[in-house]
Structure 1
């Protein structure tokens, strides 16, 4: 049974339902969430940036209220789907990509594959910079355990939300309900397993796709901001050191006492940081 998610817009992309939220006028900004998540992870930032940008939040294929794809869900396929979403939304020029966790890797893949579409990258606790990842994702590569862990259950949803944030005040009943609604979509477990197994094993994130992707992004010399929370339990803050090595031209910022989603735990500071990056790097982009 499909469970309702918070209200949002819908677009048809190649005949497939895409749940999205589009607001504001100005340079286009695209917000990309993490694995198993939804566009609600950017609600506050979306509203703040929409004062002077055209902001497009989207549920990635098979996530939240967006229909799954016919092909297996992999990083390149998700990046291509985001490009299709932009076409359907009438966005033809370069965009600012802001990606959290898996969304950061999707943003990098899109930039590497279609560089003319990207004005800048903001990579927030992004996948792709190290092997280490929370054991909760690694064990999904083990089939008998995976099915048990992916059963929608309030206790599991609460535990996941608690791991995401350093400050438990952000583990709200609303966020838990949204996570449960997303997990109860009939295709959610399949999509999650396809992604996890394409990106890693029980040992951690595969090095092959990371090495190729980071080399491709480094060669682009795009304005890039790397952001992390120092108490991230999903992708450790040591990945920021790796990221600075692989993308030496990027700016970087480490938020103290912050978990996997600085855009929520440090909302005002995060917005200011991103706006300053766009201004000082000359990545304002076209209106």
Structure 2
């Protein structure tokens, strides 16, 4: 096991693992966590080097092989096998990789990485690096920004359609998580050239916010070309991290995908 991951777990039923994006933390799933926990054994995880999870050893690469290997080891440690997996952005790409490797029973990917066009690859990396640089401001400045309604909107406008729904503590916590994460640069290095090109044999849904500024909605067309076997869903009026913008819709998309896996087993 490269890294023992920190997680929050609740509910009972089939296991369902929630995987956040680069620079984020497991609390990104809070808007849908309780709803999903009514039907599933839900585990929201901090990826290695993000949130509260320790980073990989210095010689270990932040690539998909290690991400899937580490998560698979943690699945075994948690006493689960082939969970439903749900991911956003980087987490969406990891979820797809887990599905392609036979490590998941269903996959829901929200604005997943790995379907870049030439121009939006540059746009994505530029915006992510800008967010990282901004998070390096002194803590007192980050706290001041988080206490201001205008500051919260400015801080979250590239990620959400409705950043005003966040509290000051949530915005400050996210800023600190991005500021102190140790896997950011090592992940970006591998992400510059990453593309998802594999095939999936499990029920898969790729859902994309129509107002995504980080990975623009146009990238969904590339995903449809590469994964015609998946269900492709638009998330109207949602940004890059759609759980805050429309939690009911996101929960429903996840539940429908997981239910499809159950139906296929029953058949």
Would you call these one fold, judging by a TM-score over 0.5?
yes
- 2:86 alignment partner in structure 1: 98
1:86 aligns with 2:78: no
Give the superposition deviation at 1:278.
2.9
Q: Return the structure number with greater strand share.
A: 1
- 1:256 alignment partner in structure 2: 236
Contact 2:132 2:179 in 1 (8 A): no
What are the ranges of 5 or more consecutive residues in structure 2 without an aligned counterpart? Answer: none
Contact 2:12 2:37 in 1 (8 A): yes
- 2:27 alignment partner in structure 1: 40
Aligned counterparts, 1:236-247, within 5 A: 236-247=216-227
Offset from partner CA, 1:20-72 (integer Å, 9 cap, x none)? 00111101101000000001111122211111211111000000100001023
Indicate how the Cα distance of structure 1 residues 285 and 82 shifts in structure 2: closer, same or farther if over 3 A, else same.
farther
Contact 1:278 1:284 in 2 (8 A): no
1:173 aligns with 2:168: yes
CA RMSD of aligned residues (A): 2.7
- 2:16 alignment partner in structure 1: 29
Give the superposition deviation at 1:197.
1.3
- 1:69 alignment partner in structure 2: 56
Indicate how the Cα distance of structure 1 residues 285 and 65 shifts in structure 2: closer, same or farther if over 3 A, else same.
farther
Give the superposition deviation at 1:78.
1.7
Indicate how the Cα distance of structure 1 residues 256 and 87 shifts in structure 2: closer, same or farther if over 3 A, else same.
same
Indicate how the Cα distance of structure 1 residues 172 and 180 shifts in structure 2: closer, same or farther if over 3 A, else same.
same
What are the ranges of 5 or more consecutive residues in structure 1 without an aligned counterpart? Answer: 1-12, 201-205
Give the superposition deviation at 1:146.
9.7
Offset from partner CA, 1:145-187 (integer Å, 9 cap, x none)? 89855524525995442210112323431321111231343xx
Structure 2 distance, partners of 1:108, 1:222, is 10
TM (normalized to structure 1)? 0.78
**Aligned partner of 2:96 among 94, 105, 108:** 108
